[in-house]
């Protein structure tokens, strides 16, 4: 039930609901505590009264005091110290006639009995209160006074006769506690003793607890409201703005959002906003690249397809063997071209997925490059007589932060490119050095044709290819892949022609790790 109520609520409403729920539970227990504290305090005082009454009855029995006005008067004067901490002790005989009252101890003894008949008659109340006093531990408030004799009549005729009886009463801003118990001597009821004590301390304790609880409840309520305002203002609204931002991205809505304000925050929400914005930018960039790439791929495939179509039509009609051989070569080259395009495109997609999972680490780049160079030497020295050398400037290490197999891919693609434009028995040099900024610099220098383009940055564009004779071996994606991988490593790549000799120089600069 609780989970069902919270399911469809906002975070703020959930927070307020949970606080209200627990606040209600605490309030309920507090109410029960306040309700029980007064009876417990009264019970403690009543127990003290019972102890005094029992001691008084024991003294009466030991001293053989008769339960009449004269003996009780003498007993009160002789033992007044027993009752000095009590406000009032009253004695009644079994006929409920007043025979002693500590309120008269300060008067002249001759006036003692003359006062007895008017004590308690001053607090007589109308008959309609009699139905109220039938309950034990009655609390009579609002300055309504109930006759003690009425209570005695009720007590004498109740089923609780023989047990003590306690009730409270407020009069003139005084909270009084009265305990009544009958007196048994030789198993005979000879009268009643009532002890009345000012219990303002009980009321003060209760009022103090109530005030403390109310004050704390008010303070807690204020704190909850302030915290709710802060939570909503500085946390929930920004989160709602982020949710709106994601919805706008999903719905391709160009409506302006407040995410720029969130990005300047220096807390976790600011980091989340920047990460979300960067992730969205990268996603849009990938989508745009995928769309452009698909368009370019279709365009690149159309050319060899058109050539295939024309060559196949001519091949069908021609009977010249030389012409047919040329057409077959064209068909072979075009098929290789299409195959290479699809293979490289598939590899690019795989690389993008792999790159999202691979982690950067620090490593020395020289042994990796040396390993790639050795592999290519083993292949092309025998096959074409091409020699590839690997040299460094003598620095102790060439550490970068990156992905080892991607560095291998970069060097391999650049060597492929250099070899494809080089004649047999030529040299290719791979130089590794450090510049003045402690950055790692890699130069791949060949003795090929060099670049015909004035703007050499074109060679890194997708599907751009200054094709050699065997152009079917190249898709025009190799250098573009290299550029993307270098930029992934926060590096830069440039191409230029050699100054004094024929050939090309491709330079890569990786940042200092």
* Domain span at 62: 2-207
Bridge partners (DSSP) listed for residue 195: 89, 179
125 CB contacts (<8 Å, ≥6 apart)? Answer: 144, 145, 146, 147, 150
Cα-Cα-Cα-Cα dihedral sign, residues 495, 497, 502, 507: negative
- Nearest alpha-carbon partner for 307 in 264, 338, 347: 338
Please tell me the pTM assigned to this model.
Answer: 0.46
Same domain, 416 and 310: no
270 CB contacts (<8 Å, ≥6 apart)? Answer: 262, 263, 264
Same domain, 185 and 101: yes
Q: 359 by DSSP, 3-state: which?
A: coil
Q: Which pLDDT score is estimated for 40?
A: 82
Give the DSSP H or E segment for 443.
strand 440-445
pLDDT in tens, 278-294: 888 777 777 777 777 67
- Does any domain span residue 220? no
Same domain, 263 and 195: no
Same domain, 117 and 184: yes
**Angstrom distance (rounded) from CA 181 to CA 152:** 10
- Does any domain span residue 250? no
- Does any domain span residue 93? yes
- Does any domain span residue 226? no
| DSSP-assigned letter for residue 234 | I
Same domain, 118 and 30: yes
Same domain, 199 and 275: no
Same domain, 78 and 22: yes
Same domain, 182 and 269: no
- Does any domain span residue 236? no
Cα-Cα-Cα-Cα dihedral sign, residues 154, 59, 44, 123: positive
How many alpha carbons lie under 13 Å from residue 108 in its C-beta half-sphere? Answer: 3
Same domain, 345 and 420: no
Task: State the virtual CA torsion across 435, 436, 437, 440 in degrees, nearest 10.
Answer: 20
441 CB contacts (<8 Å, ≥6 apart)? Answer: 432, 433, 434, 435, 507, 508, 509, 510
Same domain, 291 and 318: yes
Task: State the virtual CA torsion across 295, 300, 306, 308 in degrees, nearest 10.
Answer: -130
- Does any domain span residue 58? yes
- Does any domain span residue 438? yes
Same domain, 18 and 103: yes
DSSP of 376-433, one letter per residue?
HHHHHHHHT--EEEEEE-S-S--EEEE-HHHHHHHHHHHHHHHHHTS-TT-EEEEEEE
- Does any domain span residue 157? yes
Number of compact structural domains in the chain = 3
Neighbours of 419 (CB within 10 A): 19
| CATH number of the domain residue 369 falls in | 3.30.565.10
Bridge partners (DSSP) listed for residue 428: 388
**Angstrom distance (rounded) from CA 84 to CA 195:** 12
Same domain, 54 and 194: yes
Q: Which pLDDT score is estimated for 469?
A: 47
pLDDT in tens, 356-374: 677 889 999 999 999 999 9
Residue segments in the chain with a per-residue pLDDT below the cut of 70: 1-12, 80-82, 84-85, 105-146, 159-161, 254-258, 293, 296-297, 299-300, 303, 348-349, 351-356, 463-476
**Angstrom distance (rounded) from CA 470 to CA 138:** 113
| CATH number of the domain residue 320 falls in | 1.10.287.130
Q: Among the three residues 342, 357, 372, which one is the final residue of a domain in this structure?
A: 357
């Amino acid at each position: 039930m609780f989970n069902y109520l919270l399911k469809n609520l906002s975070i703020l409403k959930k927070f307020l609901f949970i606080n209200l729920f627990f606040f209600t539970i605490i309030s309920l227990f507090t109410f029960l505590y306040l309700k029980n504290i007064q009876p417990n305090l009264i019970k403690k005082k009543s127990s003290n009264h019972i102890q005094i009454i029992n001691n008084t009855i024991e003294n009466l029995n030991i001293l053989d005091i008769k339960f009449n006005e004269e003996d009780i008067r003498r007993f009160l004067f002789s033992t007044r110290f027993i009752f000095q901490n009590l406000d009032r002790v009253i004695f009644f005989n079994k006929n409920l006639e007043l025979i002693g009252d500590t309120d008269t101890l300060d008067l002249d003894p001759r006036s003692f009995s003359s006062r007895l008949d008017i004590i308690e008659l001053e607090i007589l109340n109308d008959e309609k209160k009699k139905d109220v006093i039938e309950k034990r531990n009655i609390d009579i408030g609002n300055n309504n006074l109930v006759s003690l004799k009425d209570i005695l009549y009720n007590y004498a005729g109740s089923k609780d006769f023989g047990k003590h009886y306690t009730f409270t009463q407020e009069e003139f801003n005084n909270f009084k506690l009265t305990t009544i118990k009958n007196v048994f001597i030789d198993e005979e009821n000879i009268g009643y003793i009532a002890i009345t004590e000012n219990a303002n301390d009980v009321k003060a304790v209760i009022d103090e607890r109530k005030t403390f609880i109310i004050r704390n409840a008010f303070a807690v309520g204020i704190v909850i409201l302030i915290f709710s305002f802060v939570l909503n203002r500085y946390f929930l609204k920004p989160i709602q703005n982020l949710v709106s931002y994601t919805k706008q991205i999903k719905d391709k809505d160009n409506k302006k959002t407040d995410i720029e304000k969130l990005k300047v925050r220096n807390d976790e929400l600011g980091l989340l906003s920047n990460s979300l914005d960067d992730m969205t930018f990268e996603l849009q960039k990938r989508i745009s690249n995928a769309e452009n790439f698909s368009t370019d791929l279709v365009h690149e495939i159309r050319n060899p397809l058109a050539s295939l179509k024309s060559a196949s039509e001519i091949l069908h009609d021609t009977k010249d063997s030389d012409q047919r051989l040329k057409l077959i070569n064209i068909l072979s080259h075009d098929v290789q071209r299409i195959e290479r395009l699809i293979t490289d495109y598939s590899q690019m997609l795989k690389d993008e997925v792999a790159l999202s999972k691979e982690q950067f680490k620090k490593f020395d780049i020289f042994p990796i490059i040396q390993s790639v160079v050795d592999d290519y030497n083993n292949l092309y020295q025998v096959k074409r007589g091409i020699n590839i050398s690997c040299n460094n400037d003598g620095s102790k290490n060439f550490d970068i932060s990156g992905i080892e197999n991607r560095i291998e891919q970069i060097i391999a693609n650049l060597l492929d490119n250099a070899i494809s434009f080089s004649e047999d028995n030529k040299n290719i040099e791979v130089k590794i050095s450090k510049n003045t900024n402690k950055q790692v610099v890699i130069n791949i220098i060949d003795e090929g044709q060099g670049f015909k383009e004035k703007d050499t940055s074109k060679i890194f564009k997708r599907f751009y290819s200054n094709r050699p004779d065997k152009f079917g071996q190249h898709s025009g994606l190799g250098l573009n892949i290299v550029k993307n991988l270098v930029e992934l490593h926060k590096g830069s790549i440039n191409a230029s022609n050699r100054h004094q000799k024929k050939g090309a120089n491709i330079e890569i600069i990786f940042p200092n790790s």
